[in-house]
Amino acid sequence: MKNTTILLTLLLFSSVLFSQNLPNIDLKSLDGDTVNVTEISNTDTVKVFSFWATWCVPCVNELDAISEVYDEWQEETQVEIIAVSTDDSRTQKRVKPMVNGKGWEYQILLDENQELKRALNISTIPHIVIVKNGEIIYRHSGYTPGAEDELYEIIQEHSK
């Protein structure tokens, strides 16, 4: 019993200790507007930041899969998907044509210098960061078909 209490205390302490807020960083929208990440994430609705790049096939597959069910997700949970392109200067010109061609209805932000990606210590993409009230509540790297179902369960859980 004593060991269980100690373990639970450590788990609770570590979750508080390691909770993280999104950094105060400005990104550009596809229209060239400046968007502050902290401002858009500091709401009581769930925001999903999906870090991706045009050359990343799993990233595109994930965003395509979510796009098929996004309207339903929004209707049920008011979730907002924010697709953060990590394309560098060589591939950034491909972002807008790809987004338009795919018909993605997400807010698209450009992490031109990968400042947000570095600040969140993201080493691989695709990478999902779920935020509520400015605090990161879930992170996940990689994509396999069907992973969007697990993602939706997490969104539902935190949308209540």
Ranges of each domain in the chain = 21-158
Residue 1 is predicted with a pLDDT of 54
Residue 4 is predicted with a pLDDT of 46
Neighbours of 137 (CB within 10 A): 16
User: What is the DSSP secondary structure assignment for residue 91, as one 8-state letter?
Assistant: T
Fold of the domain built from segment(s) 21-158: Glutaredoxin (3.40.30)
Residue 13 is predicted with a pLDDT of 42
Residue 20 is predicted with a pLDDT of 83
Query: Phi first, then psi: what are they for 140, rounded to 5°?
Result: -155, 135
Token readout for 138 is 């879930």
Neighbours of 121 (CB within 10 A): 8
> What pTM does this model have?
0.86
Residue 3 is predicted with a pLDDT of 52
Q: For residue 42, which amino acid is it?
A: N
Low-confidence ranges of the chain (pLDDT < 50): 4-18
Residue 11 is predicted with a pLDDT of 42
* Backbone conformation region of residue 142, classed left if phi is above 0, alpha if psi is from -120 to 50, else beta: left
